Structure 1
């Protein structure tokens, strides 16, 4: 079962490239430290033919109050959408699956640092149940950032909805981040320069400027900053 969030995503799904492939990744609470069988990088290695526990293609975390996994895109990139493939185990996906409850309540952030609080919340699950959460989820998030962060929590003293697991985990088999390798461009094939010459970041679909090059300001990035400022 899969699910898409965002109007018009299907038309774009095959055009952008996976800019997270083989990028550095990190897992907050590794299930077994220094064990390559389930390390963080498994979730960005391009393999997703075996989404089971012992398939050797997934990252796995210990059950804790918080669960964080992130990928470093190595530079600020223009992102269109993010697709997450969960570990599914051997049982059919749904209420009878042992992994399903741990994904409920998940959040996805895009940030310029590894700190999610300095970034933008792209998605927060407050709608799914163990019967409706998809085994892979695609989130439209047209934004710029260097880190894509998966986060979940089961904090003490907080009452969570029925079906939620007692602890949080980040058992992810693949996280694909689709967008442009180079900033300053937009469009389906990332081939259209931002409309303003001094615009460093523009909306990946519309081309609307979202950030000026150093030394410029204004909606069109056509105003020079005062001397000594940027």
Structure 2
């Protein structure tokens, strides 16, 4: 089953240059590496387009069926876009595009796909992805993960390469705000005070989640009377003194019972 997030994506480096490159020379890893020098995961974040990572092939008749590559940004940052430059061979562009077709991009705080946010999914109704690809991805997270698969018994769209599907990423450029807790085209606007983990939408400043006790888009409203905690989802219990409501953050009676 394919999932199609409603996201804008464009080919090439069509990103705002005011945003910071937050993936340069960060720690990268991959699911498997083809034997030989010069195929390491770190090649995709060295800003040298002549060096590329390379994995073992995946395919219906290959031992490997899935592949992933990820970069650890070193902290939780507000992200704006992810640009990927895939390796090309003169005269074989369609083959290379077919190899990368169907890939997914995730943003994660833990480094594993489970529980991550899907940023982009190349599906059967999309064109084959360009070899210089940018996904607009206003998320926050510590890891960016590339994933692809080729399973036996699955019908893939026309144009998808099905055997000996090598993954060769030459550069992955994650753009965002290097200063944690900031957003805006120049990364100079602080996220609202009550945003959880000091992260917010890099363009609008809207909080992804609120700290306990707060609600609304910018987390500037207290929980309603009688409610407290994360997402204002917990109801006050007991009898606070003078009929007061409980603390909107802790749920306790500040003036006693």
TM range (shorter): 0.7 to 0.9
- Looking at structure 1, the residues matched to 109 and 37 of structure 2 have their Cα atoms a distance apart, in angstroms, of 27
Q: For the Cα contact (< 8 Å) 1:19–1:181, is it kept in 2?
A: yes
Q: For this pair of structures, how many residues does the alignment match? A: 206
User: What TM-score, normalized by structure 2, do the two folds share?
Assistant: 0.73
Q: Does 1:16 align with 2:15?
A: no
**Offset, 1:133:** 3.0
Query: Structure 2 stretches of 5 or more lacking a match?
Result: 1-7, 59-64, 223-247, 253-257
Counting only pairs closer than 5 Å after superposition, residues 1-230 of structure 1 correspond to structure 2 as 5=9, 10=14, 12-32=15-35, 35-48=36-49, 50=50, 57-64=51-58, 65-89=65-89, 91-92=90-91, 94-95=93-94, 98-126=95-123, 127-129=125-127, 132-167=128-163, 168-194=165-191, 196-199=192-195, 200-213=198-211, 216-219=213-216, 220=219, 223=222, 225-226=249-250
CA RMSD of aligned residues (A): 2.2
Counterparts of 1:14 and 1:183 in 2: how far apart (Å)? 18
Q: Higher strand fraction: Structure 1 or Structure 2?
A: 1
Q: Which structure is higher in RCO with an 8 Å CA cutoff and minimum separation 6? A: 1
CA deviations on 1:179-207 (whole Å, 9 max, x unpaired) are 0112221110100112x323211111011
Structure 1's consecutive aligned runs of 4 or more residues displaced over 6 angstroms after TM superposition are: none
C-alpha separation in 2, matches of 1:67 and 1:85: 17
Task: Tell me if structure 1 keeps the 8 A contact 2:139–2:202.
Answer: yes
Structure whose alpha-carbon radius of gyration is higher: 2
